[in-house]
Amino acid sequence: MSLVRSFWRFVLALLREIGDENAYQRHLAAHGRVHSGAEWRRFSEEWMRAKYARAKCC
Amino acid sequence: MIKIETNAGIDGHGPALGSGSLARVAKFLWRLFWLIIAFGAAFFLSGIALNRGEHINSIWLVLAAACTYALGYRFYAKFIAARVMALNDERATPAERLRDGHDFEPTNKWILFGHHFAAIAGPGPLVGPVLAAQFGYLPGTLWIVIGAVLGGAVQDFVILFASMRRDGKSLGEMAREEIGKVGGFAALFTVLLIMVILLAVVGLVVVNALKGSPWGTFTIAATMPVALLMGLYLHYWRPGKVLECSGLGFVLVMASIFAGRSVAASAWLSPWFTWSAMALAVAIIAYGFLASALPVWLLLAPRGYLSTFIKLGVVLMLGVGVLVVHPDLQLPALTRFVDGTGPLFAGKVFPFCFITIACGAISGFHALISSGTTPKMIAKESNALPIGYGSMLLESFVAIMAMIAACVMQPGVYFAVNSPAGVVGATPAAAVAKIASWGFPVTVTEMSTLAHSVGEQTLFYRTGGAPSLALGMAHIFAQTGGGQALIAFWYHFAIMFEALFILTIIDAGTRVGRFMLQDLLRHFSEPLGRVNWMPGVILTSAAIVAAWGYFLIQGVRDPLGGINSLWPMFGIANQLLAAIALCVGTTILLKMHGAKYMWITCTPLAWLVIVTFTAGWQKIFSPVPAIGFLAQADQLQASLAAPTVATRTLIFNARLDAALCAFLLLMVATILLDSFRVWYGVLSGTQEARVVEAPFVLSQLRAEKL
């Protein structure tokens, strides 16, 4: 059972990493800020600009 | 330096079970295990290589690949990690030293593995093997497995290692530092050109998958408002809830697939979504422009999330499906088309099989990812082994799954779907007669029944690989769950997956191309280089879209289906980028160890240079019009006394393709010569072998922190 739980935790963590939710949490922690709509928009603007300036693989 | 965790093998260390007889038994069993794996690899590979005249089960391919990957990872990759790179977990990585909570962040090994895999896995490993299946399953399968173990995974691993030791520098920066300014500039320019060809060819794959298909077109059209809704949801209503928003998007996309059946059946709605190839091409070009110019959060980002999640899910489903269903392969090991007369694309098995399958065996584009985000997130140096080498093996496995999905179809059906009208004839009756004359019987009734079973009007002339891959996937998925009653749903699910995935490459690629162009133009005009100056944004977006849109239209108008000329050009370009990456890798290994370990990157480099230059030369100068661009132009010129505007355009396009191909070869020849100059200097002692790694800093990071 614990194996299933840890696998599920891993899957969620992976999805959060791919979905940039972990990056947002790190951003909040690094700047000592709390979550808000404006904060997410500030983060996503900066993050997406960098993310979509890199080539995507074929 | 600490030792990379090894249990047994090349350096003879067994599992740490203690001393005495127990340890000796464990060591013996461990060696026996690897001996069995080695025997298994040899047995299954020779089984698929020597089988003739009988249908082989797909499990043979799966086991041959799995055993070879295991051997490659356990012995070859660990040898490179321990002896060549001397990966050292006591050395702080850029993620630790330069930690900023943004780009540089130590990340759990398996999470980064998934992240890296999601970034390198594009449509290439799915489409390439399907096209190469025209030679039979054997050449493509051997290239995918052996090419990945000795070439692709080595390239990804070496570049990841090099970037990790250089503060996460990009391939272009490393090329400039290690080889010289000429190499660096050529690398950047080659990437821009490859982007243009890539976007055109993947656009053509989508066009051919959706033309005359109201169900498919409706489903893909529906993903646009779904993405916009997701963008607004994430930006204003539930900021930061990406998983929740993607779940909602997934439900809506699934609903659109179900609704697509009713749209296709409706006499009123169906014509609205039945588009010609040209109309679809124009729509995709317009979409690329909008996606490049609109704010990222509105369209690109939500589509990107949705596409990535669906991609990972479908790859997993396909893997499970193949294992559960383990269908027999219907295509033979080798077809008559190894002689170069193939209907999907012309050219002999050597060199064309090796450029048709790029991603899945070796892909230069991976070097951009391995020197992009990933090296900035690696927590420990030893993690580069599973992430760099291991994730390429997984991608190669995806390519094997695609090869299986293509080969489970009856050969006659496979060729009827993938052959252009210009090769097999403009009517279904002519097409089946031609295909039957090749020894692959198929009937019009059979094709018609198949088309109706998946909710399509026709499946003839669907070049590009996507529809045949969707058929193969639908066949596997339907046997896994739902049976034949759901085959139409699974077919359109697969088409939706491929098109969504490819459109994500197009929208993001156009934007990246725009940034590259703006970066170049800012040297001539400062405002054009500003990413927030709207006239500059519109102008550069239009320029990039016009560049790939031109080749897309060219592909749509091509009487041989477009794939015949565009896919080999894309393959050559991608493999040439891999050659650049391997030049950088070889230079670094040479500076680290002298000539001792040069062969690790030189061997795949030599192979790629031989393959790409032979293919490039043939695409330009072959006297066979179906292969050589110049011969094609000459034939068109000679065939008409007074060429029409359309023919003149075809002649111009063939000459343009030849010029582009020659330019790419010239670029890479320049980088090769520049590299040879550096290598000769280092080996002869006239040039200093200075390794420009970041200085050693003792790591303070503990594994449990991650």
Q: What backbone phi and psi angles, to 5 degrees, belong to B378?
A: -75, 125
Quick one: pLDDT band at residue B355, thresholds 50, 70, 90?
Answer: very high
- CA distance to B171, B549, B656, per residue, from B288 (Å): 26, 9, 23
Mean pLDDT, rounded, for B108-130 = 89
pLDDT of residue B7: 43
pLDDT of residue B508: 83
B24: CB partners within 8 A, 6+ apart: none
Of residues A13, A21, A52, nearest to B508 (C-beta): A52
Quick one: pLDDT band at residue B706, thresholds 50, 70, 90?
Answer: low
Which one has a higher pLDDT value, B573 or B383? B383
pLDDT of residue B67: 97
For residue B576, is pLDDT > 50? yes
Residue numbers of the domain that contains A46: 2-51
pLDDT in tens, B267-286: 999 999 999 999 999 999 99
Question: Domain total for chain A?
Answer: 1
For residue B5, is pLDDT > 60? no
Residue in B closest to A41 by C-alpha: B235
Cα B523 to Cα B474: distance, rounded to the nearest angstrom: 51
pLDDT in tens, B169-184: 988 889 888 888 887 7
Q: Is B639 exposed, middle or buried (0-12, 13-18, 19+ CB in 10 A)?
A: exposed
**Contact residues, chain A, for B103 at CB < 8 Å:** 50
For residue B550, is pLDDT > 60? yes
Most confident of A35-49, B5-19, B578-592: B578-592
Q: What backbone phi and psi angles, to 5 degrees, belong to B380?
A: -130, 145
- Return the SS3 of B57: strand
Mean pLDDT, rounded, for B488-516 = 88
DSSP character string of B585-628: HHHHHHHHHTTTTTHHHHHHHHHHHHHHHHHHHHHHH-SSTTT-
Q: Kindly determine whether residue A57 and residue B198, on different chains, have CB atoms separated by under 8 Å.
A: no
Q: What is the CATH number of domain B87-212+275-324+339-684?
A: 1.20.1740.10
Domain range annotation of chain B: 87-212+275-324+339-684
pLDDT in tens, B628-654: 999 999 998 887 776 788 888 889 999
Of residues A24, A37, A48, nearest to B296 (C-beta): A48
pLDDT in tens, B185-236: 777 778 888 889 989 999 999 999 999 999 999 999 999 999 999 999 999 9
pLDDT of residue B442: 96
For residue B520, is pLDDT > 80? no
- Best of B296, B311, B518 to substitute, by most chain A Cβ atoms within 10 angstroms, is B296
pLDDT of residue A16: 92
B210: CB partners within 8 A, 6+ apart: B216, B217, B220, B275, B280, B495, B499
pLDDT of residue B18: 60
- Examine residue A36 and state whether it is found in any structural domain, yes or no: yes
Q: Which percentage of chain B shows pLDDT scores above 90?
A: 67
Q: Which of B146-155, B362-371, B520-529, B615-624 has the lowest mean pLDDT?
A: B520-529
**Contact residues, chain A, for B118 at CB < 8 Å:** 18
Cα A21 to Cα A23: distance, rounded to the nearest angstrom: 5
Interface size, chain A vs chain B, as Cβ–Cβ contacts under 8 Å: 127
Of residues A17, A27, A53, nearest to B102 (C-beta): A27
pLDDT in tens, B336-351: 999 999 999 999 999 9
Q: Kindly determine whether residue B105 and residue A47, on different chains, have CB atoms separated by under 8 Å.
A: no
Mean pLDDT, rounded, for B562-578 = 88
pLDDT of residue B15: 52
pLDDT of residue B703: 57
Mean pLDDT of chain B: 90
pLDDT of residue B179: 85
Q: Kindly determine whether residue B372 and residue A54, on different chains, have CB atoms separated by under 8 Å.
A: yes
pLDDT of residue B17: 52
B275 and B210 in contact (C-beta within 8 Å)?
Answer: yes
- Examine residue A58 and state whether it is found in any structural domain, yes or no: no
Mean pLDDT, rounded, for B20-48 = 94
B565 and B422 in contact (C-beta within 8 Å)?
Answer: no
Whether ipTM exceeds 0.90: yes
Name the pTM for this structure. Answer: 0.92
pLDDT of residue B36: 97
B193 to chain A, closest Cα gap in Å: 12
pLDDT of residue B518: 84
Of residues A21, A26, A46, nearest to B240 (C-beta): A21
The two three-digit tokens of residue B317, written as one number:
């489903």
